[in-house]
Chains A and B, each alone.
Chain A
Amino acid sequence: MPEREQKRKATTSRTEDVVEELPATSKQGDKLKAELDDLLDEIDEVLEDNAEEFVRSYVQKGGQ
Chain B
Amino acid sequence: MAVRKVCGIETEYGIILRGGESNPITASSLLINSYVSRLQRKVAWDFEDESPGRDARGFSREGPSAPEIETHLVNAVLTNGARYYVDHAHPEYSTPECADALELVRFDKAGERILAQSIEDACDVLPPGQSIAVYKNNSDRKGNSYGTHENYLMDRAVPFARVVHHVLPHFVSRQIYTGAGKVGSEAPGVTSAEVPFQLTQRADFFEEEVGLETTLKRPLVNTRDEPHCDSLKYRRLHVIVGDANLAEVSTFLKVGTTSLVLAMIEDDELHGLDLSLAHPVAAHRQVSYDLTLRRPLELADGRRMTALEMQWETLDRAKKYAESRGLEAVGAEVGRMVLDRWEAVLTGLEDDPSSLAGQLDWVAKKRMVEAYKERHGLGWNDPKLAALDLQYHDVRPGRSLFARLGMERLTTDAEVVDAMTEPPRSTRAYFRGRCLQRWGSSIAAANWDSLVFDLGTDPLRRVPMMEPLRGTAAHVDSLFETCRTPAQLLEALGST
Interface footprint category on B? 35 or more
Are the C-beta atoms of B383 and A64 separated by less than 8 Å? no
- A59 — which chain B residues lie within 8 A by C-beta? 140, 142, 144
A34 within 8 A of B: no
B240 within 8 A of A: yes
- A62 — which chain B residues lie within 8 A by C-beta? 88, 144-146, 215
Shortest Cβ distance from residue A13 to the other chain B in the assembled complex, whole angstroms? 9
- B145 — which chain A residues lie within 8 A by C-beta? 62-63
Q: Please give the number of chain A residues whose Cβ is less than 8 angstroms from any Cβ of chain B in the complex.
A: 33
Of A39, A47, A52, A58, the most chain B CB neighbours within 10 A belong to A58
Are the C-beta atoms of A19 and B352 separated by less than 8 Å? yes
Are the C-beta atoms of A64 and B374 separated by less than 8 Å? no
A31 within 8 A of B: no
* Distance in angstroms between the alpha carbons of A64 and B354 in the assembled complex: 32
Q: Type the 1/0 row for A43-64, where 1 means its CB is closer than 8 Å to any CB of B.
A: 1001110011011111111111
**B273-281, B397-405, B413-421: which lies at the A interface?**
B397-405
- B370 — which chain A residues lie within 8 A by C-beta? 6, 9-10
Are the C-beta atoms of B88 and A63 separated by less than 8 Å? yes
* Distance in angstroms between the alpha carbons of A56 and B167 in the assembled complex: 37
* Nearest residue, chain A, Cβ from B398: A46
Shortest Cβ distance from residue B223 to the other chain A in the assembled complex, whole angstroms? 14
* Distance in angstroms between the alpha carbons of A7 and B370 in the assembled complex: 9
Of A1, A6, A57, A60, the most chain B CB neighbours within 10 A belong to A60
B294 within 8 A of A: yes
Are the C-beta atoms of B384 and A51 separated by less than 8 Å? yes
Are the C-beta atoms of A14 and B12 separated by less than 8 Å? no
- A39 — which chain B residues lie within 8 A by C-beta? 368, 371, 404-405
Query: Which of A43, A46, A51 contacts B386, CB < 8 Å?
Result: A51
- B293 — which chain A residues lie within 8 A by C-beta? 15
Shortest Cβ distance from residue B90 to the other chain A in the assembled complex, whole angstroms? 5
Are the C-beta atoms of A15 and B294 separated by less than 8 Å? yes
Are the C-beta atoms of A46 and B371 separated by less than 8 Å? no
B372 within 8 A of A: yes
Query: Which of A1, A9, A36, A55 contacts B383, CB < 8 Å?
Result: A55
- A1 — which chain B residues lie within 8 A by C-beta? 374
Query: Which of B14, B140, B372, B391 contacts A48, CB < 8 Å?
Result: B391
* Distance in angstroms between the alpha carbons of A63 and B68 in the assembled complex: 11
Are the C-beta atoms of B387 and A48 separated by less than 8 Å? yes
A-B contact list, 10 entries, CB within 8 Å: A1-B374, A6-B370, A15-B294, A22-B351, A43-B401, A46-B399, A47-B391, A59-B142, A61-B146, A62-B215
A residues adjacent to B (C-beta < 8 A): 1, 6-7, 9-12, 14-15, 18-19, 22, 36, 39-40, 42-43, 46-48, 51-52, 54-64
